[in-house]
């Protein structure tokens, strides 16, 4: 462990215990509040911005200005921002810690999601984004890696902070494979039921704070090229419709295992603006109709995030209502007293294999029958 990885305090309220990740905008640490006992400490995740980011005065100004906005977003499907700390040249965002894997890791382990589970999971993500938009915030970087999963159940525990390689075009499943769901996928995702994993949206304020640095993607725009809306690529100010488009790309990827566009970043950006994605096999008509509307090239042709959440929730409820139920065993009623066999005979107890039947009952008080014409014994 290097000196930079060793535990250290953050301000007077937090203790950075272990570095658990590193991304484009900084490092992620597992932390706790100062003074809490080890066994009772509530784990926190602290994202520390890169030192070169905080050298930009506009980033510093935006970091301070966005503090109150980011901390008032409340949703069970959003990782809450608990605090924002400035200590010298260290700028840190304190958030809830979610130990589960991110959505990208989970889908790589299970394969594409069944339609019912996809609708239920997508509805929860959309509900979280409704709360983000209600606070006046646009996420700007919706992607599977920024959606963590609580209540995750799978045969092998996935490492929360691993970064598996993205699937190449050669690894993309065929239409037939995309339409076939593995038993692990159906079991893990709960088929849309209440045991399904709970999505938690992360990093909903990072892109907004780092808006002035176009070097985040290396393409002149802020965000991830695979999930960027066409108007954002063209230089328009991001709006909630851009998050709708990004969520549509995520739903497409969950349905068939790969995003609709692949290639180098510049090629992917061009495809967003010029090409419509093809319909994957196995997606119901209503689900594909909603995803296609979310991927409209013009932002004013897309539904609002509220309508997306409501539409996905209706599909999830319909799938649960159509799920076949296990038939209940028939109820046995007692025989009526008027039945001639009611209460007369009892079933003999069961015998073990090879056991002899019991001898017939003897009635010592009943006299033996004497044949007619036979001599009776003399008294």
Residue numbers annotated as active site:
141
| Cα–Cα distance, 115 to 320 (Å, whole number) | 11
* Contact (Cβ atoms closer than 8 angstroms) between residue 246 and residue 227: yes
Report the relative pairing of strands 147-150 and 8-10 from DSSP bridges.
unpaired
Phi/psi region, residue 88 (left: phi>0; alpha: psi -120 to 50; beta: rest), is: left
The whole-angstrom separation of Cα 140 and Cα 214 is: 13
d(CA 16, CA 23): 17
Other beta carbons less than 10 A from residue 351's beta carbon: 10
Do residues 16 and 26 touch, judged by C-beta distance below 8 A? no
Residues 119-158 as b/e (b if ≥16 CB within 10 A, e otherwise) read: bbbbbbbbbbbbbbbebebbbbbbbbbbbbbeebebeeeb
- Side-chain-facing half-sphere of 358: CA atoms under 13 Å: 7
237-243, long-range: CB within 8 Å, 24+ apart, which pairs? 238/138, 238/140, 239/138, 239/299, 240/129, 240/133, 240/138, 240/304, 240/305, 241/299, 241/300, 241/302, 242/138, 242/140, 242/299, 243/129, 243/132, 243/133, 243/138, 243/139, 243/140, 243/142, 243/305
User: Where does residue 192 fall: left (phi above 0), alpha (psi -120 to 50 degrees), or beta otherwise?
Assistant: left
């Amino acid at each position: 462990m290097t000196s930079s990885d060793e535990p250290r305090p953050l301000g007077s309220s937090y203790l950075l215990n272990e570095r658990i990740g590193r991304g484009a905008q900084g490092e992620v640490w597992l932390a706790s509040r100062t003074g809490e006992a080890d066994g009772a400490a509530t784990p926190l995740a602290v994202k520390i911005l890169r030192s070169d980011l905080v050298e930009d005065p506009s980033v510093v100004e935006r970091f301070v200005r966005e503090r109150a906005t980011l901390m008032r977003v409340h949703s069970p499907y959003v990782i809450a921002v608990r605090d924002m700390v400035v200590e010298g040249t260290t700028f840190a965002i304190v958030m809830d810690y979610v130990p589960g894997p991110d959505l990208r890791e989970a889908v790589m382990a299970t394969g594409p999601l069944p339609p019912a589970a996809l609708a239920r999971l997508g509805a929860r993500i959309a509900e979280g984004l409704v709360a983000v938009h209600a606070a006046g915030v646009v996420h700007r970087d919706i992607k599977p890696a920024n959606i963590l999963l609580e209540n995750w159940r799978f045969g092998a525990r996935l490492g929360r902070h691993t970064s598996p390689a993205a699937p190449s075009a050669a690894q993309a499943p065929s239409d037939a494979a995309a339409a076939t769901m593995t038993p692990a996928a159906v079991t893990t995702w709960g088929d849309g039921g209440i045991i399904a994993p709970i999505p938690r949206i992360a990093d909903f304020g990072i892109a907004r704070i780092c808006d002035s640095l176009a070097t985040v993607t290396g393409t002149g725009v802020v965000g991830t090229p695979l999930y960027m809306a066409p108007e954002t690529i063209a230089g328009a100010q991001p709006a909630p419709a851009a998050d709708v488009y990004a969520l549509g790309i995520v739903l497409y990827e969950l349905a068939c295992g790969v995003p609709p566009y692949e290639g180098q970043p510049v090629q992917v950006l061009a495809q967003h603006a010029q090409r419509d994605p093809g319909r994957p096999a196995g997606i119901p008509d209503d689900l594909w109709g909603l995803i296609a509307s979310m991927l409209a090239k013009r932002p004013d042709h897309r539904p609002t995030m509220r309508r997306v959440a409501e539409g996905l929730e209706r599909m999830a409820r319909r799938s649960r209502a159509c799920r076949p139920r296990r038939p209940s065993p028939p109820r046995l009623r007692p025989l009526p007293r008027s039945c001639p066999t009611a209460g007369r005979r009892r079933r003999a107890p069961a015998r073990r294999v090879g056991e002899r039947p019991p001898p017939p009952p003897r009635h010592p008080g009943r006299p033996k029958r004497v044949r007619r014409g036979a001599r009776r014994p003399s008294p």
